[in-house]
């Protein structure tokens, strides 16, 4: 029987040592993995099982002949590893079965900047463009349960910034127009600049393709939505406050009449952010994910709530455990899942989600009465949840391991068969042949204690060709977030470093998700204290390993990991060299340069105009007079989260002090997520720069 569990604030038992294991295939020659191997990976995601449970639809990505990322829809039979290409477009995604399974709708972009919804028979045939939206961004859609409508989130491009307007200017010689900005929220990393435009909710008729606006009151455009089972209403979580971007806790739960457009706010829901709304199949309940109170940066647990669909009376189902529903396990071979996934059982008695814990992520379910979670997957792996078949017995999912990028699979959800075990069946193996020809290093999990006794989890990878008795240069990787986790996922960058002869270590210091709310919330507004103590403990643990050369240890990380890299080299001499990637260096200047505002005296104490000292005290640049480590700075000019000016300040300070450094700036077309989802050729260039730097200094 699938097992129930509650979160515990103590480390799991250490697994049997497999450190340094490499993939071996009898009779097959293997070699070290290289940066350019990035082009060979096939990445899969967004699995959707058909209503009859026979087929899983999913998105498959690979690098094309012109180094572009090609995205298609594929299908896999649930009875075996039989896969086939389903759509031929280069940018097809978000495939969704119609309620009865005869059609599939998906988002396709046949013209750049002009995504539309297409519909195709599930048995195959020609895809027909359903919608005629103007140029813009089409985020997502949902079928109505009766199959007659789609609810679509779409944002139109401003007239002056359309492709047609650009072409007219080229013909007339006019300059690009200025951006006239009135709203505080006018840009988002990875999404670009949109000024006052927001995603709005539209209803599309499946027969005619005609669309009409239903809801446009969310002042950030981050709304979530789901249909009532009778197709008459939509449940919507939205923030209609004028200051929505700096007060996510003002989001509300609404019911919207699809025909009349009448909006009703449910009055009894708690104050706090709300997302991932899901209406129960019996129509009685609405579930959503949320964080209590005035919380903005995600250091608190994202909880599961269920409310009465009529009254809004809400119950918190998270009171008996310490899990967070929004734990992103970072990797460079999968898109990070930062939001919660909520899926109802067909009998409306249980809710399924994915829970991150100690570097893993598992599919679990909970009764609407509350209590412990029942886990439907197990072991050292990272799972994401898609949807559930109509009979409620099977879910579509992805499963990743430290030696395997995500595969599409199905999971057994039956929990009433005595003696049964959680089972996952893999349906794809696109990377198996390639990976069998490469030597891979198996990470091993360890625990150490910080100075105050706090347990800290870490993983160590031995280099290719490891020989006992030899000491190796070592690279300590620090993850971004900071409220995310490293764990049991395949990381190409780590494998490349191990293949080049380095011991690689990655860990989850305080501030990470997956260890309970107190562990994550410990660094709220105080980066560089408890988290730094944990990083120091990990460094000490590393240097005590007999195969680590204590004098040749480097540190690197991106985003918050860049913050910690900057902090580490300004507060110790433990690291011979460093690489700071898309970093945070100066919190005072970041107040005005980041797409996400730093609200005064909220997560961070102080402000940038009349009380900057608290921010400056927590800024790594404050200690750069002590830096001696040669440092590589990597940043994207299109980074709107940690603006390139952060990297510029690091480079300027080090150059002025005569510290060896190099500044690698990637072009405006790249964003904060370059290392995970940027252009393949630039990602390969980045990896080569990293290898060159470590070769020079370690």
Q: From 657, 583, 579, select the one nearest 620 (Cα to Cα).
A: 583
Q: From 424, 355, 353, select the one nearest 394 (Cα to Cα).
A: 424
Give dist(CA 5, CA 391) in Å, integer: 25
Res. 19 pLDDT band, cuts 50 70 90: very low
Among the options 441, 671, 672, 675, which is catalytic?
A: 672
Q: What are phi and psi of 438, to 5 degrees?
A: -120, 145
> pLDDT: is 273 or 3 the higher one?
273
Q: Are 166 and 156 spatial neighbours (Cβ–Cβ below 8 Å)? A: no
Provide the pLDDT for residue 24. Answer: 40
In this structure, what token pair is assigned to residue 637? 């000019």
Provide the pLDDT for residue 63. Answer: 97
Pairing verdict, β 69-77 and 382-388: unpaired
**Is the model's pLDDT at 5 over the cut of 80?**
no
For the chain, the domains span: 442-697
In this structure, what token pair is assigned to residue 649? 């300040």
- pLDDT tens digit sequence for 25-39: 344 558 999 999 999
- pLDDT tens digit sequence for 322-332: 999 999 999 99
Among the options 228, 276, 507, 559, which is catalytic?
A: 559
Q: Are 471 and 549 spatial neighbours (Cβ–Cβ below 8 Å)? A: yes
- pLDDT tens digit sequence for 501-520: 999 999 999 999 999 999 99
Q: From 264, 286, 270, select the one nearest 342 (Cα to Cα).
A: 286
Give dist(CA 429, CA 607) in Å, integer: 51
Q: How far is CA 542 from CA 187, 385, 399, 459, 474, in A?
A: 41, 35, 29, 10, 8
Q: Show Cβ contacts of residue 546 under 8 Å, excluding neighbours closer than 6 positions.
A: 471
Q: From 514, 601, 92, 459, select the one nearest 299 (Cα to Cα).
A: 514
- pLDDT tens digit sequence for 542-577: 999 999 999 999 999 999 999 999 999 999 999 999
Pairing verdict, β 263-265 and 252-257: antiparallel
Q: Are 143 and 122 spatial neighbours (Cβ–Cβ below 8 Å)? A: no
**Is the model's pLDDT at 471 over the cut of 60?**
yes
Res. 21 pLDDT band, cuts 50 70 90: very low
Q: From 369, 375, 495, 394, select the one nearest 435 (Cα to Cα).
A: 495
Res. 419 pLDDT band, cuts 50 70 90: low
- pLDDT tens digit sequence for 274-286: 999 999 999 999 9
Q: From 307, 336, 407, 366, select the one nearest 43 (Cα to Cα).
A: 407
Computed over every residue of the chain, the mean pLDDT equals 94
**Is the model's pLDDT at 415 over the cut of 80?**
no
**Is the model's pLDDT at 82 over the cut of 80?**
yes
Determine whether 199 is an active site residue.
no
In this structure, what token pair is assigned to residue 22? 């490499």
Determine whether 672 is an active site residue.
yes
In CATH, the number for domain 442-697 is: 3.40.50.1820
Q: DSSP per residue over 584-607, as a string?
A: ---HHHHHHHSSS---TTTTSSS-
41-57 in b/e burial notation, b at 16+ Cβ within 10 A? bbbbbbbbbbbebebbb
Give dist(CA 668, CA 595) in Å, integer: 15
């Amino acid at each position: 029987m699938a097992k129930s569990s509650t979160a515990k604030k103590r480390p799991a038992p250490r697994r049997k040592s497999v450190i340094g294991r490499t993939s071996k295939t009898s009779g097959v020659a293997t070699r070290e993995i290289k940066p350019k191997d990035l082009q060979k990976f096939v990445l899969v995601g967004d699995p959707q099982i058909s209503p009859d449970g026979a087929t899983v639809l999913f998105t498959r990505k690979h690098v094309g002949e012109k180094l572009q990322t090609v995205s298609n829809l594929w299908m896999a039979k649930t009875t075996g590893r039989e896969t086939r290409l389903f759509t031929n477009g280069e940018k097809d995604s978000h495939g969704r079965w119609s309620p009865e399974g005869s059609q599939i709708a998906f988002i396709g972009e046949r013209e750049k900047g002009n995504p539309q919804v297409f519909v195709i028979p599930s048995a195959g045939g020609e895809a027909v463009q359903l919608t005629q939206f103007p140029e813009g961004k089409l985020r997502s859609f949902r079928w109505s349960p009766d199959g007659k409508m789609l609810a679509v989130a779409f944002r139109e491009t401003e007239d002056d910034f359309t492709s047609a307007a650009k072409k007219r200017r080229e013909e007339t010689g006019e300059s690009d127009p200025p951006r006239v900005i009135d709203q505080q929220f006018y840009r988002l990393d990875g999404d670009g600049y949109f000024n006052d435009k927001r995603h709005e909710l539209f209803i599309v008729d499946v027969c005619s393709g005609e669309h009409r606006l239903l809801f446009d009151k969310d002042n950030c455009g981050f709304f979530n939505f789901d249909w009532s089972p009778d197709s008459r209403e939509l449940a919507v979580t939205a923030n209609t406050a004028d200051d929505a971007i700096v007060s996510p806790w003002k989001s509300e739960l609404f019911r919207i009449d699809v025909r009349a457009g009448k909006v009703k706010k449910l009055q009894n829901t708690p104050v706090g952010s709300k997302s991932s709304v899901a209406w129960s199949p019996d129509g009685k309940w609405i579930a959503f994910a949320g964080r209590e109170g005035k919380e903005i940066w995600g250091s608190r647990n994202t909880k599961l709530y269920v409310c009465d669909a009529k009254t809004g009376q809400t119950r918190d189902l998270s009171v008996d455990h310490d899990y967070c529903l929004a734990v992103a396990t970072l990797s460079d071979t999968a898109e990070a899942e930062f939001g919660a996934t909520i899926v109802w059982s067909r009998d409306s008695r249980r809710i399924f989600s994915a829970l991150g814990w100690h570097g893993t992520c598992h599919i679990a379910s909970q009764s609407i009465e509350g209590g412990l979670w029942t886990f439907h997957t197990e072991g050292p792996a990272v799972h994401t949840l898609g949807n559930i078949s109509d009979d409620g017995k099977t879910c579509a999912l992805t499963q990743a391991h430290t030696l395997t990028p995500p595969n599409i699979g199905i999971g057994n959800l039956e929990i009433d068969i005595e003696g049964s075990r959680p089972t996952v069946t893999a349906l794809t193996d696109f990377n198996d042949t390639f990976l069998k020809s490469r030597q891979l290093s198996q990470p091993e999990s360890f625990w150490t204690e910080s100075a105050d006794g706090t347990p800290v989890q870490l993983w160590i990878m031995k280099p290719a060709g490891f020989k006992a008795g030899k000491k190796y240069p070592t690279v300590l990787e620090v993850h971004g977030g900071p409220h995310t986790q490293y764990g049991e996922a395949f990381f190409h960058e780590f494998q490349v470093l191990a293949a080049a002869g380095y011991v690689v270590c990655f860990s989850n210091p305080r501030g990470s998700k997956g260890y309970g709310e107190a562990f994550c919330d410990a660094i709220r507004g105080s980066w560089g204290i408890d988290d730094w103590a944990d990083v120091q403990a990990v460094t000490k643990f590393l240097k005590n390993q007999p195969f680590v050369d204590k004098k040749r240890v480097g540190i690197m990380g991106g985003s918050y990991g860049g913050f910690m890299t900057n902090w580490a080299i300004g507060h110790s001499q433990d690291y011979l060299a460093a690489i700071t990637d898309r970093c945070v260096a100066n919190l005072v200047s970041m107040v005005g340069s980041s797409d996400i505002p730093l609200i005064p005296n909220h997560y961070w104490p102080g402000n940038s105009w009349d009380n900057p000292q608290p921010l400056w005290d927590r800024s790594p640049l404050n200690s750069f007079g002590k830096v001696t480590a040669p440092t590589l700075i990597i940043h994207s000019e299109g980074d709107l989260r940690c603006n390139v000016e952060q990297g510029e300040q690091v480079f300027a300070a080090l150059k002025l002090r005569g510290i060896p450094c190099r500044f690698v700036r990637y072009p405006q077309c790249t964003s904060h997520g370059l290392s995970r989802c940027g252009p393949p050729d630039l990602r390969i260039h980045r990896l080569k720069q990293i290898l060159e730097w470590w070769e020079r200094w370690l």
